[in-house]
Amino acid sequence: MTPSRIAFAAILAKDLRSELRTLQSLPAMALFSVTTFVIFRFGLDRTSLSGSLAAGVLWATLLFAAVLGINRLFVAEREEGGFDAIRLAPIDRSVLFGAKVTALIVYLLALELVAVPIFALFFLQDAGGLGPLVGVLLLTDLGLAATGTLISSMAVNSRARDLLVPLVLLPLVVPLMIAATGATEPLLALGGPSYHRFGTWLMVLGLYDLIFGLVGYAVFDFLLED
Amino acid sequence: MYGKGLKPLSIATVAMIALALSLVFFYAPLDGDQGFIQKIFYLHVPLAMTALVGFIVGGVFAIAHLRTDNRKWDAYSYVAIHISVIFGVAVLITGAIWAKASWGHWWVWNEPTLVSFLIVFLMYATYYPFRYAIEDRDRQARYASVFAITAGAFVPLNFMAVRMAQSLVHPRVFATSNGGLPGEMLVVFLCCLVAMALLWMTLVKFELTAKSASGQVKRLRRALDAPASTGTSRIAPEVS
Amino acid sequence: MMLPLGAPALPLDEAGKYVAGAYVVFVVLLVVYVAIMAMKLQRIERELREVAEIAEGNKGSQAAPGREAEEAAPRV
């Protein structure tokens, strides 16, 4: 294994272990999602959702829950000198980016493992669309993770830390959300899942992931300079 | 020397704007569909195109900044984005006026280019609070460049996604913004586009010159061991 | 190029108001920008004046250091 791969595995393992032990972000994200679903139930005055409403409620909730996790992504690095450690290590610094993106994807998947079934329980009449929804979730998580990690790494070194991530990240992920909801809406349609433009939306998601994954990977080195 | 060439550039800009305005009101034929209201198109669309290219140029300057570590590129990037944001305000307001005139509402969601532009504008509007939140000057410049590059990559993706989200059933508000402009209109449009681009360049050069002058004064102060003046900007990069 | 002789297409009905509004917005924004830059220019001018005065003051004190040192010396 090359030093970079060792470092990648080490950082990822440290992050996941730390989260499992302290359980800082995940329970909060999950609870937040469930409570938000309840708020939507009353705010929209509906007990069942389908089509565009269902897609919108699901994705808005997942997005805001993700922001909670993204805010906390680099806090340990900042407080315990993780950034310095990476600067001193003789490896490609973008390894930190890769490891953090992967960790964030894991958190998001864990969140969705809890939030999506509960969403289906609360609001959906039939669960037929949930299978292909997994594909949409995966691709969107990739995009969210790439942009979230990038913005979070900058926000953690600033003054208005918690404010900066929602402020800058939200416009940035609009195309991602457009594609995610576009793909999800027909899946959750009233009469059963349909695949209207499903392939096209998946391609848009993939394109977004590719572009921002590359951009993040390319610029991350410059972010760590001191 | 940033001020060099500013005079010929501004003269060219004024001449071009005068020519463009004359063409719009004296030469361009009246549109069959929208009538006189279509004249707003010659203002709104060149403003939008110039602003968007300006944002991308800001991203290119940011790449130069990260690669050369020369702070002047950060100043160029900041000013390019700054002027484009101002143009963006003009785009949104003229777009709203056009929407009200053609459609009766001040804002319409079924015009994908206008909606895309709103999102791009919101994205770049966060550039200022973002810069403001980072105290260390060096870091601020670097992070701002990362922002400009990321946002630059975001612009085309955003336009694509919003356009795709359009239901094909809804009629477009700004019908003439689809291709197929008759020859005379195209000539006028191109003149307006050139005029806007020149205006953008003049304003960018103007602002860089002002920043440079300010920077020279600071240099003088330092050289004379004079006390620093109050009122320095926290976010605008210095040019020296 | 065929320029039609005579009046420009400027009807003073509803449509005209909107078109005028749009162009006025553009001009207003431009003028506001110029005004802000004018204020910046004023500040630069003021600071330059201050700095010039300081520079002249320095030149003056360099020409006569002896006298000032004498004056500054504590009187016993």
Tell me the pLDDT tens digit for each residue of C10-51.
455 777 888 889 999 999 999 999 999 999 999 999 999 988
Are A160 and B133 a contacting pair at CB < 8 A? yes
pLDDT for C75 equals: 52
Chain C residues near residue B97 by CB distance under 8 angstroms: 18, 21-22, 25
Most confident option among A35-49, A68-82, A84-98: A35-49
Chain C segment 17-76 residues within 8 A of B by beta carbon are 18-19, 21-23, 25-26, 29, 33, 37, 40-41, 43-44, 47-48, 50-51, 54-55, 58
Tens of pLDDT along chain B (240 residues)? Answer: 788 889 999 999 999 999 999 999 888 888 777 788 888 989 999 999 999 999 999 999 999 999 999 999 999 999 999 999 999 999 999 999 998 888 888 998 888 888 999 999 999 999 999 998 888 889 999 999 999 999 999 999 998 888 888 765 555 555 554 556 778 888 999 999 999 999 999 999 999 999 999 988 988 888 887 777 666 666 777 776
This prediction's pTM: 0.87
pLDDT for A202 equals: 95
Q: Does residue C5 have a pLDDT over 50?
A: no
pLDDT for C1 equals: 39
Q: How far apart are CA A52 and CA A60, in angstroms?
A: 12
* Dihedrals phi, psi of C73, to nearest 5 degrees: -65, 140
**B6 touches B53 (CB < 8 A):** no
Q: Does residue C6 have a pLDDT over 50?
A: no
The region of weakest confidence among A52-61, A87-96, A214-223, B144-153 is A87-96
User: Tokens 């006189």 label which residue?
Assistant: B36
Are A208 and B157 a contacting pair at CB < 8 A? yes
pLDDT for C57 equals: 84
User: Tokens 């300081």 label which residue?
Assistant: C54
pLDDT for B59 equals: 96
Are A168 and B145 a contacting pair at CB < 8 A? no
Chain A residues near residue B149 by CB distance under 8 angstroms: 215, 219
Chains C and B touch, contact meaning at least 3 pairs of CB atoms under 8 angstroms apart = yes
Q: Does residue A153 have a pLDDT over 80?
A: yes
Half-sphere exposure of B161 (CA within 13 A, CB side): 30
pLDDT for C2 equals: 39
Greatest pairwise CA separation for chain C in angstroms:
94
pLDDT digits (tens, 9 = 90+) for A164-182: 999 999 999 999 999 999 9
Q: Which amino acid is at B185?
A: M
Are C9 and B203 a contacting pair at CB < 8 A? no
Of C22, C41, C54, the CB nearest to B40: C22
Residue B77: which domain range?
A: 41-172
**B24 found inside a domain:** no
**B65 touches B77 (CB < 8 A):** yes
How far is B224 from chain C, CA to nearest CA, in Å? Answer: 7
Residue A22 contacts by C-beta under 8 Å, 6 or more apart in sequence? none
Closest C-alpha among A166, A61, A71 to residue A115: A61
For residue B128, the chain A residue with the least C-alpha distance is A168
Residue A49 contacts by C-beta under 8 Å, 6 or more apart in sequence? A57, A123, A124, A188
B149 in contact with chain A, both atoms CB, cutoff 8 A: yes
**B21 found inside a domain:** no
* Residues paired with B31 in a beta bridge: B35
* Dihedrals phi, psi of B208, to nearest 5 degrees: -65, -40
Encode burial over C19-40: b for 16+ CB neighbours within 10 A, e otherwise.
bebbbebbeebeeeeeeeeeee
Closest C-alpha among A114, A121, A122 to residue A44: A122
**B174 touches B102 (CB < 8 A):** yes
Cα dihedral across residues B94, B100, B106, B107: positive or negative: negative
ipTM, two decimals, is 0.87
User: Tokens 């895309």 label which residue?
Assistant: B116
Mean pLDDT of A144-166: 91
Task: Name the 3-class secondary structure at B134.
Answer: coil
pLDDT digits (tens, 9 = 90+) for A7-32: 899 989 988 998 888 888 899 999 99
Sequence spans of domains, chain A: 3-224
How far is C69 from chain B, CA to nearest CA, in Å? Answer: 20
**B87 found inside a domain:** yes
List C-alpha distances in Å: A89 to A83, A93, A94, B97: 10, 8, 12, 57
| Spacing of C-alpha A121 from chain mean position | 22
Of C15, C19, C25, the CB nearest to B90: C25
**B71 found inside a domain:** yes
Q: How far apart are CA B72 and CA B201, in angstroms?
A: 17
Closest C-alpha among A40, A88, A42, A41 to residue A60: A40
The DSSP annotation for B81-111 comes to HHHHHHHHHHHHHHHHHHHHHHHSSS--TT-
The DSSP annotation for B18-29 comes to HHHHHIIIIISP
Closest C-alpha among B46, B44, B48, B23 to residue B101: B44
How far is A168 from chain B, CA to nearest CA, in Å? Answer: 6
Q: Does residue C70 have a pLDDT over 60?
A: no
Q: Does residue A67 have a pLDDT over 60?
A: yes
Are A222 and B145 a contacting pair at CB < 8 A? yes
How many independent structural domains does chain B possess?
A: 1
The dihedral region occupied by A45, where left means phi > 0, alpha psi between -120 and 50, and beta the remainder, is: left
Are A225 and B158 a contacting pair at CB < 8 A? no
For residue B136, the chain A residue with the least C-alpha distance is A158
Q: Does residue A91 have a pLDDT over 50?
A: yes
Cα dihedral across residues B101, B103, B107, B110: positive or negative: negative
